[in-house]
Every structure is written in C-alpha cells, then in structure tokens.
Amino acid sequence: MALAVLLLGVLLWLLHRNELEEARLALIKDILWVEQNIHFHLDSGEEKLTQLVAELARGDQPVETFEVQARGLIATSGDFDRILLRDAEGGLAAAVPPSVGDRSGEVVGEAAPWWSAFTLAKSIGRAAWSAPFAIPGRGQVFEVHVPIFRDHRFVGMLVGEVAVDSLLAQQVPWWVAEKYKVEIIDANGTTLGAKTNVQLAEPGPSHQVRLEPPGQGVAVVATVYATETNLARNLLAAAIFALAILAVSSLWTMRRHARRRFAAEQALRTEHAFRKAMEDLLTVGMRARDLTGRITYVNPAFCRMVGWSEEELVGCMPPMPYWSPDAMDSTMEWHKRVMAGDAPPDGFEIQFRRRNGETFWALIYEAPLIDANGRQSGWMASVLDVTERKSAEELERWQQEKLQRTGRLITMGEMASTLAHELNQPLSAIASYNTGCLNRLALPEFDPADLRTALTKLGVQAQRAGQIIRRVHDFVRKSEPQLKPCTLNGVVEDTVGFMEFDAKSRGVQLKVSLSPANPAVTADRILLEQVVLNLARNGAEAMAHTPARQRKLSIGVTCQDGQAVVSVADHGPGIAPDVAANLFQPFFTTKEEGMGMGLNICRSIIEYHQGRLWFEPNEGGGAVFRFSLPTRSP
C-alpha cells in the first residue's frame, strides 16, 4: 500500500513536470511566433519606407510626395503610427499625421534619443533602428530611420515611428493574450509596454525573446498566468493522498484485527489439541446423551470399549447397539432411572455387549450436563470396564469356596476322629445289648418281652450308628449347600446327640434350652449342625482347665424380631484381646493340634445363610458364641 502511495506520488509529480514542460514548450513556441510576427511586421514596414525613400529621391517636391505617400501608407498598412520627414540636419520637415505638439519642443542633435539611429543610418546609407524612448502623451516608441540620398548627397531622413503599445495591441492576437502577459522590455529590463487580460498576483513561468529589429536589447517577454487548474490538480492530489492514507490506516486496522483473530484461533487450537490429547489418553469411556436419550458424544476410550465407531454411535437412540440382549430389560430400567435423574451418585454396574458379541461389566457414573447458559442439556456418563475386577471378585469367591471346601475336608478329618469315637458309643451299646440278649437266650426261662425291649434299644442304637455314617457321607459329598426348611431346635438336638459322648469323655455337662417358638429357617441342615458342633467342641475344649464342677456348656435357641439366635456358652478362660482380633482368621489357632479353620468356616456358613456370628464374654466367666439367622416367614 505504501508502495502504491509512493508510486502515485511519483506519477503525479511526473505528470506535473510533464505538464510544466509542455507549458514551457508551448510558451516558447507562442513567444517565438509573436516575435516572428512583430519581426515580419517591422521588416515589411522598413521595406515600404525604403520604397518610399526611392520615390522621394527621384521626385522634385519631396514634401508633397511624402505627405501623399505617407498618408496612403498609414491608411493601408498599420505598420507605423506616424511617418516623419527630417532634413539633413535632423530637423522635422513634415509629419503624417501632422505633429500634435508633442514634438514641438523636441531637441535635435546629440540630446535627441533617436540621434544615434539618425547618424548611423546617414553613415551606413541604410535603414537603422533607434532604441525606445518616451514621448509625452504617446508612451514608449522606437523609430526606423531610412536615409534619403539624391545624387549621392544626403538630403534628409524618412522616419517611421512605432508606438510600443499599439505594436502590442496589433501584433499580439487575443488567444496569446488569453494565456500570457506579453511585454516589451528594454535592455535594462524596464517594461516599455504590455498586453494583458489579467492582473497578475503571482507570475508563472516566463520566457523572453530578443526583438530584432529594433534590437538595442529590446525583447519581448511572455509570462504564463497562474491558472486555477493548479488548485484543482492540487485538490485532486490531496484527495488521492487522503484516500490512500485512509486505505493504509484501514489496512493497518484490519491487520491488527486479523492478528488478534489469529492469536485467538491459535489459542483455541492449542486448547483443542490439549483437550483432544487428554481425551484420547483417557482410559475411562465418556458418553454424553441429550435429554431425549440420544447419544451426542462418545470419546475414543468408549468406542474402543464397545467396538462401535463414533460415527455409528452418535445419534443413536435406546436401545443402544451395545446393550446386552440378555439384560435388555434391566438396562432399559437403568436408562429410565438415569433420564429421570434418579441415578445413584456412587454409580451402578450394568452388563454391556461389545461388537464382537463379548459381554462385559461396566461401572457407570452419571452426572447432569450443564450448557453455557446454565441449563441442563443432557447427561454425561463415565464408563469403566470392570470385567476384570468382577472376574477377580469371582475368582476370589471361588477360591474362598475352595478354601471352605478344603476347610470342610479338614473339619471332616477332625470329624472323622470324633465320629470314630461317636460310633464307638452306639456300637458298644449294640454289643452290650447283644451280649445281654444272648445271655437272656442262654437262660432256660426268659421273658420275650425283655428280649424285645433290649432288641428295640439295640435297633435304636443301630439306627444311630447308621445316622452317624450318613452324616459323614453327606458331609464328604462335594455338593452345593442344600437349602431346605428346618427348625433350629432340631438342629441343636441332633448336634447335642453327636456331642454327648465327647462331652462325657471331657467331663463336660451339656445344658440345652430350646425355644418354645421353635423357629424355622431355610438352611443346609448339615452345615448348621457343623457350626453348632464346632462351637460346642471349642467350648468344651476351652474348659479343659476349668474345675470339673463348673464345666458346663449351655446351648440355647431363642427367637426375637424375626431372628433366631443360637448361643453356645462355656466357662472357659474367655477370649483374650489379642486372640479376639484374629479369631476368625483362617489357620489361626492357639491349640497344639488345632487347624484354626473352624471359626472361619463357621462364619462363612452363617454369612452364606444371611446371618451373623459373633462372640461376647459370658456373664459367669468364659465366652458366649452366638449366631443369628433370619427366620422363615410362615
């Protein structure tokens, strides 16, 4: 733009110079033309005078001839304002038109301004021009002197007088006067006469040409009028410059604006790149939905998770392609809850399907999406693939189960030895009943009723032994827990049956108090019996150092607020605080031959039945282990 302005300036300057040059050339041409015109005019005048002189030299009456001829000459050609006839001494002989008094007091001789021309013409015998001089009332004039010789004798002088003003008036045409002020100046530069239409305040360029004849340093000068076109041109140039400056300044403003915009765009791009990098790096899936449930945004992590591309997902309405067909109803339920603003703040887990058909567990947190105006425009969710965590949990559960099974095997080993003792009891009873029967049979007389009683008791003991064997069988069987309705009174009674022998051998007194309500629960009876058996055996073992009188083990069943509670209270040393902290840890034992699995398994079994197992100090010393189970509604 600056270059354009510069070029424009140079162009204007060149144009101006060109114009000046042209004007100067025109001026020179015009002034030369004017000079030529005057020159021709004066030459022709001189020529005519010379012809008149020849005629006068021949005639006898020079004065009369002169007057006739001179009058004719002035009338036909405007070459001279006046024609004079002087005698050999320079005295005025005649004048056409006649003198009007302005030359009346004229001196002749050296003092006369025309004398040098007179003497020159006389001496060279040809026409000679005078320097300009002023005549009062006539202004500046100059003269041409043509000598008259008759028979080679100088007899007089024919003088043509040219007034500067009338010369300019006649010889400078109007079109020249329109353009220039035309002056005739003498050798000193003094203006002798001028032709002008305008009063020049400030002269323009001028040019001068010597005027020959009359010579003597006389010159014609033309001065150009300072025209108004200059003002117009200057105004135009100023307007162009103003426009250029305006254009430059607006360009500058635009540049600043563009730079600001560019900087803002740059900042935006940086911000966008930062966000994009962050978004791409996220391993958490992000998904936005509008208030109608349509997906409006998904991040790359979400796309990777489900296997559908962003283009395929954005715009989808429920049911979404990644919803698991097996969990369609529950997923729809969750969707409705989220849309109603009822999503749990700590997230929820849901099963989704990948594009390849694989299902996975997703942990979803939903939060309202607030737009720039502060209005809710939808929901934003973060989606975590928790399949691995889930399977880890699953694995843990499985391991726990395995552990329990192992525990059960261990308990089984323990139980096997117990049962071996237990089996001893009915078997020795059977043996003794059998001996009794045989003894009775050996008698010559025997009461069959006695025999029946003994045999019935024997049968009962045999059944008991069978029961013991079945328990072992049931326990060893690697089956899932069999949940069936059963009563807790029954469970405790059966367990006490198993415990009796063991208790007796340890000198422990068993005290059972059953609940009159006889609460019913849904449970695996064998497992519950195992729990009671474990607790009872622990209690009995704890009382090893208790005085024999106090070795009492109380097993009770109570029922309260829909919960059935079984308690096993002993009078042992109680639970020491350091033991209490680890009581339920697997493999924790204080016994030399203990496995430390019992309580841990007991708690797992009770928790499996949605119950709780805990212990408290016994009021009369020792410990009470209690477990509660939800009762079955009738």
- Residue 28's nearest CA partner among 197, 186, 221 is 221
The nearest distance, CB 586 to ligand ADP, in angstroms, is: 8
Print the binding letters for residues 440-469 with ligand ADP: x by CB under 6 A, - otherwise: ------------------------------
Residue found under tokens 């530069």? 189
The nearest distance, CB 521 to ligand ADP, in angstroms, is: 23
The nearest distance, CB 293 to ligand ADP, in angstroms, is: 54
The nearest distance, CB 600 to ligand ADP, in angstroms, is: 6
Contacting residues for 205 by C-beta, under 8 A, at least 6 apart: 20, 23, 24, 27, 223, 224
- Residue 162's nearest CA partner among 49, 75, 220, 78 is 78
The nearest distance, CB 467 to ligand ADP, in angstroms, is: 24
Cβ closer to ligand ADP: 400 or 590? Answer: 590
- Residue 539's nearest CA partner among 629, 615, 595 is 615
Parallel, antiparallel or unpaired: strands 82-87 and 139-150: unpaired
Residue 571, token pair as written in the block:
């009078």
Could you give the C-alpha distances from 59 to 21, 66, 86, 149, 152, in angstroms and in order? 57, 10, 16, 12, 15
Touching ligand ADP, residues 26-85 (CB under 6 A)? none
The nearest distance, CB 524 to ligand ADP, in angstroms, is: 19
The nearest distance, CB 584 to ligand ADP, in angstroms, is: 8
User: Cβ(164)–Cβ(140) under 8 Å?
Assistant: yes
- Using CB under 6 A, count the residues that bind ligand ADP: 20
- Residue 158's nearest CA partner among 83, 69, 91 is 83
The nearest distance, CB 559 to ligand ADP, in angstroms, is: 23
Cβ closer to ligand ADP: 322 or 615? Answer: 615
CA distance linking residue 527 with residue 396, whole number of Å? 21
Cβ closer to ligand ADP: 16 or 506? Answer: 506
The nearest distance, CB 540 to ligand ADP, in angstroms, is: 9
Q: What is the CA radius of gyration of the chain?
A: 75
Residues in the chain: 634
Which residues on adjacent β-strands are paired with residue 154?
A: 149
Phi-psi region of 620 (alpha: psi -120 to 50; beta: other; left: phi over 0): alpha
Which residues on adjacent β-strands are paired with residue 615?
A: 625
Per-residue three-class SS string for 47-84: HHHHHHHHHHHHCCCHHHHHHHHHHHHHHHCCCCCEEE
CA distance linking residue 469 with residue 420, whole number of Å? 10
- Residue 168's nearest CA partner among 130, 118, 216, 222 is 222
Print the binding letters for residues 283-322 with ligand ADP: x by CB under 6 A, - otherwise: ----------------------------------------
The nearest distance, CB 611 to ligand ADP, in angstroms, is: 18
Span of 254-262, 430-438, 443-451, 581-589 interacting with ligand ADP by CB under 6 A: 581-589
Q: Which of 28, 579, 617, 620 binds ligand ADP (CB under 6 A)?
A: 579
Cβ closer to ligand ADP: 338 or 553? Answer: 553
Touching ligand ADP, residues 556-575 (CB under 6 A)? 570, 572, 575
Q: Which of 154, 241, 588, 608 binds ligand ADP (CB under 6 A)?
A: 588
The nearest distance, CB 495 to ligand ADP, in angstroms, is: 15
Residue found under tokens 């250029």? 244
Residue found under tokens 């340890």? 506
- Tell me which H or E stretch contains 487: strand 484-487
Cβ closer to ligand ADP: 321 or 413? Answer: 413
Q: Which of 196, 583, 608, 632 binds ligand ADP (CB under 6 A)?
A: 583
CA distance linking residue 461 with residue 450, whole number of Å? 17
Cβ closer to ligand ADP: 503 or 575? Answer: 575
Residue 126, token pair as written in the block:
């040809």
Cβ closer to ligand ADP: 12 or 595? Answer: 595
Query: Strand runs (DSSP E) across 151-249, as ranges?
Result: 153-163, 180-185, 191-195, 206-210, 219-224
Cβ closer to ligand ADP: 15 or 579? Answer: 579
Note the helical H segments in 125-171. Answer: 164-171
Parallel, antiparallel or unpaired: strands 509-513 and 552-560: parallel
The nearest distance, CB 595 to ligand ADP, in angstroms, is: 4
3-state helix, strand, coil in the chain (%, to 5): 50, 25, 25
Print the binding letters for residues 589-628 with ligand ADP: x by CB under 6 A, - otherwise: xxx--xxx-xxx----------------------x-----
Cβ closer to ligand ADP: 37 or 589? Answer: 589
Print the binding letters for residues 513-552 with ligand ADP: x by CB under 6 A, - otherwise: ---------------------x---xx--x----------
Cβ closer to ligand ADP: 497 or 621? Answer: 621
Span of 24-32, 184-192, 350-358, 586-594 interacting with ligand ADP by CB under 6 A: 586-594
The nearest distance, CB 349 to ligand ADP, in angstroms, is: 34
Cβ closer to ligand ADP: 618 or 631? Answer: 618
Residues that bind ligand ADP (CB under 6 A): 534, 538-539, 542, 570, 572, 575, 579, 583, 588-591, 594-596, 598-600, 623
